A = this chain, B = another copy of it.
Amino acid sequence: MPLPLQIQKDNGIPVYVQVEQQLRLLMLQGVLLPGDLLPTVRELAVELGVNSNTINRVYRDLQQAGLLVLQRGVGTFVSEAIDRQPIRPKDLKGLVNKVDHLIELAQSLGLTSSELGQLLETRWNKDSDHASR
């Protein structure tokens, strides 16, 4: 089963960023577990319809972040030594639930996705401001 990755070309966000973020999310969700073998660079490139250089960069970046292990001639694996545990399914479910409710509310108020995202970021930073003072 191929990974559930979807990219949007020409939405402004670089493809490699999109893929990286989605892979991070999959690891966070426990869909990708430590030791798992990822698709070949070329495979994923074909699957997503992008150049293999782009996937190359994705894998490399995630390796530098300590999330993947690249073995030349062998393949690419989810790092065994991720210092962070994936979220427990129950917690994840609760989180997604809240997110969905929030989205529903925002949409009922006529907000766009980016507006909600901006609001979220603003509030997040506000919190961290307080925390760091």
Residue of B nearest to A114 (CB): B21
Selected contact of A69 from candidates B6, B10, B98, CB within 8 Å: B10
Chain B contacts of A46 at CB under 8 A?
none
Q: Known contacts A116-B120, A122-B22: does B105 contact A98 (CB below 8 Å)? A: yes
Give the A interface residue count (CB, 8 A): 43
- What are 6 inter-chain pairs, A to B, with CB distance below 8 A? A21-B114, A21-B115, A25-B119, A91-B109, A98-B102, A117-B121
Chain B contacts of A101 at CB under 8 A?
98
Does the CB pair A105–B95 fall under 8 Å? yes
Chain B contacts of A2 at CB under 8 A?
none
